[in-house]
Amino acid sequence: MFEIKDDFYLNDKPIKIISGAIHYFRVVPEYWEDRLLKLKAMGCNTVETYVPWNAHEPEEGQFNFEWILDIRSFIQTAQKVGLMVIVRPSPYICAEWEFGGLPAWLLQYEDMKLRVNHPIFLEKVDNYFQRLFQEFADLQIEQGGPIIMMQVENEYGSFGSDKTYLKKVAQMMRKYGATVPFVTSDGAWSDMLKNGTVLDDAYPTVNCGSKLVESMQEVRNFTKSEGPLMVMEYWIGWFDAWGRDHHTRDFESAAQELDEALEIGHVNFYMFHGGTNFGFWNGSNYYETHSPDTTSYDYDAPLTEWGDVSEKYKALQTVIKKHATVEEVALPEPIKKIHYGTYQVTNSTSLFANLENLAVKSEHSYTLPMEKLGQNFGYVLYETDLGEAREIHDFKLLGANDRAQVFVNDKHVLTQYDQELGTEATFPLADEENRLSILVENLGRVNYSSVLNHQHKGINEGVIMNRAFLSDWNHYSLPLDNIDQVDFTKAYQAGLPSFHQFKVEIDEIGDTFIDMTGWGKGVVFVNGFNLGRFWEIGPQFRLYLPGPLLKQGENTIVIFETEGVVKDTITLTDIPPFERQ
């Protein structure tokens, strides 16, 4: 039995919660036990995880709880190594995750309002919770499982103030079997605690990266009652975005803050182990400009993206030993990092030559956004005829997100990104017949703030040319979930979006890192698995490749590159994406 009274109680005895976040969906399952054991060895007694709705219900009514999404097995593994579990279910998680965990198919419902007391949205949440809670309702502590708490929504106070909505989410969770105590988590400033707290249904906790004691006291001031003080997210590092600096935080200040916080309360590290934004799952932020997150979610966490203990880990472990008994844990053998060497490209082919075998094609009089095409991620290619040679004035992409490359007769004309989209462009049409192709990429839906309500990708409003909308479009949906359909016997043309195949023979399996230095922008696939994005603007230039994604013998790596900036080699190295101690 776990209870929240004047403190946290486990079986009627006070317990100090020292927890760390590990997202099962950012770590290959073969490494779950390794990461969880290292969490326990640092001195933590609990693991916390979000639950991404969009990954578990990628299409409405179609659910996935297999392999990296097997949340039940992750929770059972945590119990096996002796950890308690805090579960933070959807509907919304933020987490620098695509659309904050919300499924993109929600955007097909034009009258729906997200994260409020709207009947359609709540109906979809209810359908999801009904299936989700079947995975772990029986793993709560009253039934002999490790789950001690669950969170209602996430940082709602920085989005809205709809208490009816929050209460209904809590009621749904209870309806489908949640019996453990509920918490909320919000920032400790402005109106965030006031907006996001529902005291009758969930106990408030705070999220912060500094001034932990001050933030915890804000909860006491807000509730005006005695109760446990907890930082649900102690931001021990920070995430990275493409084109920005790599974030780090010194371990001395992190350890000092922890020491002070544990004197008066309870802490969950966000993140203990960040992991990887595999595939197209990275989120984005939008303040002054669009800021998509990198493939690495290392977060400068105590345990690196590739599972190594850092100096920060050791410093925090020392502090924890002052406040709790740290059990000696026999750790697994270190995971070997291998420099496999450099490999030559075996085949190359252009995207345009592969449209018919890769894409679902549809014809419409006007451009449709990705979501109206039944597509969530990847790219959409729009194509239409422009007619005879002439000067093009006032060329505009209206309602387009996030990045568009414009081609005429398979020749690159211009690229627009973020705020450039919708600005006027001019160019000549030199040939007697001219075909316009526009490749639009979803760089990751925004995961935080009011911009959540405007996350259609592709071209939503249309294309203006010489002051009139263009019509009669072919749409090619390119989620790239069928990379095995690329036909490398088809033509390759330099300077255009293209696929490049590498054959990698290995005898020994270990972790490695794919060095993408010298490549432009795109995605890497390893044995058909979407490893994630690369982009020459950095700060990440190497992609972490966990050993379980490889096999002894021949491995196939396919690189999709969109800028025409390519090499004829790749290197698999033992040098991590961000070298640090």
| Gyration radius (Cα) of the chain, Å | 25
Residues 240 and 293: beta-carbon distance below 8 Å: yes
- Point out the residues that are catalytic: 155, 233
Tokens of 18: 């020292």
Helices 251-264, 212-223: crossing angle, 10 deg rounding: 30
Helices 32-42, 311-323: crossing angle, 10 deg rounding: 50
d(Cα 367, Cα 386) in Å, to the nearest integer? 15
- DSSP helix/strand/coil, 256: helix
d(Cα 93, Cα 101) in Å, to the nearest integer? 6
Instruction: Characterize 520-541 residue by residue with b for buried, 16 or more Cβ atoms within 10 angstroms of its Cβ, and e for exposed.
Output: bbbbbbbbebbbbbbbbeebbb
Residues 533 and 504: beta-carbon distance below 8 Å: no
Listed residue (184, 179, 205) closest to 1, CA to CA: 179
Question: Would strands 203-208 and 230-235 be described as parallel, antiparallel, or unpaired?
Answer: parallel
Strand ranges across the sheet with 425-429: 425-429, 390-401, 458-465, 468-469
Peptide bond into 271 cis (omega under 30): yes
Instruction: Name the H helices within 177-274.
Output: 192-196, 212-223, 251-264
